[in-house]
Amino acid sequence: MPVRALARVNVAAVQRNVALLRSRVAPGTQLCAVVKADASGHGAVPVARAALAGGATSLAVATVGEAAELRAAGLTDPILILGAISNDELPIALAADAEIVAWSERFVADLARLADGAGGRRGAISVHVKLDSGMGRLGTRQADEAVAVAELVRARAPQLALVGAMTHLATADDDPEFVAQQLAAFEPFAARLRERVPGLRVHAANSAATLREPASHFDFVRCGIALYGCDPMNQDPAPYGLEPALELTSYVAALKPIAPGQSAGYGRRFIAERPTWIATLPIGYADGIRRALTNNCDVLIDGRRYPLVGTVSMDNVTVDVGPEPVVSVGARAVLIGRSGDERQTVEDVANRVGTINHEILCGISARVPRQYHRDGVPLP
């Protein structure tokens, strides 16, 4: 029987995307796979494994819970927690043997006190010091303050180990001039720390910078959205050779004629102007189909493109399949992905509603089952 809503993820595509991204950086530059937010709805654990198989050397997440999930799944590779960590969360981060980002002396002091009481650890807690070079969120804007934080980390050896210097680029997808300003602020700071700690890992680049800003690559790049075969510039991944890993499908659950003046959906936001047929798909905003796509999206069925019409409801959408429909009940319907020669990317959907691919992917809810395969071969 058809599944009412299904997200199929090709882990082989993830693996190939990692290999492609690694080919875009210098041989000595490593790749960190950012799998936060459940790998943007793709599934953190299977995506992490595929990324590591493709050549990633480490992983990154946003929260301590995400790090703990990867460890619980048996992954032993380095994991960097990019986000803020409260004192209450620090024991979870330590239990996950995660690398931690710091930007204040107070946080380092709290971390050191906790490390003093964490008997039985295998080694020092790895710390990356962050400079805010222009993102304006986490991190200190003052290079001297960031250096002082780094010195405090070094002073608390062997409990703590200074292993990285980092920043976060704000406009790598659309403003190279501001990227250059950020790098000009970051590079002297990183150089000061390199003088103190030979072997320090310096990193700044996200997916967009990996593809467009070679000067930002440093020791490793942090790739997220590009892992999944999506365009960091939110246009089209094909010119970069990226391969979308996820497709979102439903099926035609009902098919009925509609006469001029009759409507479909809440609020009568679609009223037929001619005799036509309406296909109902059992997928809606509770699954991640944004309500803003009302009368504003396409659906691919049997290799043809049809307009989504009427209000997107919680559990259903309706599609105008024409006055002489060639589709049938049970037919597979593609909302993201390919059908025959037709293609609809997550970027296409995102641009319909003025958002980015990240948000569409993260919005695919837990109600939608994920099915994993390797080029069509189901994973156990």
Task: Report which of 247, 249, 254 is spatially closest to residue 325, judged by C-alpha positions.
Answer: 254
- Pick the catalytic residue from 36, 228, 240, 372: 36
Residue 248 has pLDDT above 50, yes or no: yes
Quote the tokens at residue 216.
């930002």
Task: Report which of 348, 375, 369, 353 is spatially closest to residue 250, judged by C-alpha positions.
Answer: 369
Is pTM beyond 0.85? Reply is yes
pLDDT in tens, 4-13: 999 999 999 9
The reply to whether 285 belongs to the active site is no
Backbone torsions φ then ψ of 116, nearest 5 degrees: -60, -35
pLDDT in tens, 100-147: 999 999 999 999 999 877 654 558 999 999 999 999 999 999 999 999
Given this model, what pLDDT does residue 119 score?
52
Q: Percentage of the chain with pLDDT > 70?
A: 98
Residue 16 has pLDDT above 90, yes or no: yes
Given this model, what pLDDT does residue 17 score?
98
Topology annotation, domain 246-344: Lyase, Ornithine Decarboxylase; Chain A, domain 1 (2.40.37)
pLDDT in tens, 73-96: 999 999 999 999 999 999 999 999
Going 14 to 16 to 22 to 24, the CA torsion angle's sign is negative
The reply to whether 256 belongs to the active site is no
- Pick the catalytic residue from 228, 240, 251, 266: 266
Domain limits, the chain? 11-230, 246-344
3-class DSSP assignment, residue 302 = coil
For domain 11-230, give the CATH number.
3.20.20.10
Class of residue 201 by CB neighbours under 10 A (exposed 0-12, middle 13-18, buried 19+): buried
Query: Fold match between 11-230 and 246-344?
Result: no
Residue 1 has pLDDT above 80, yes or no: no
Q: CB of 250 within 8 A of CB of 281?
A: yes
Count the Cβ atoms, other than its own, within 10 Å of residue 239.
Answer: 10
pLDDT bin (cut points 50, 70, 90) of residue 2 is confident
Mean pLDDT of 157-177: 97
pLDDT in tens, 350-364: 999 999 999 999 999
Given this model, what pLDDT does residue 120 score?
47
The span from the CA of 373 to the CA of 8, in Å, is 7
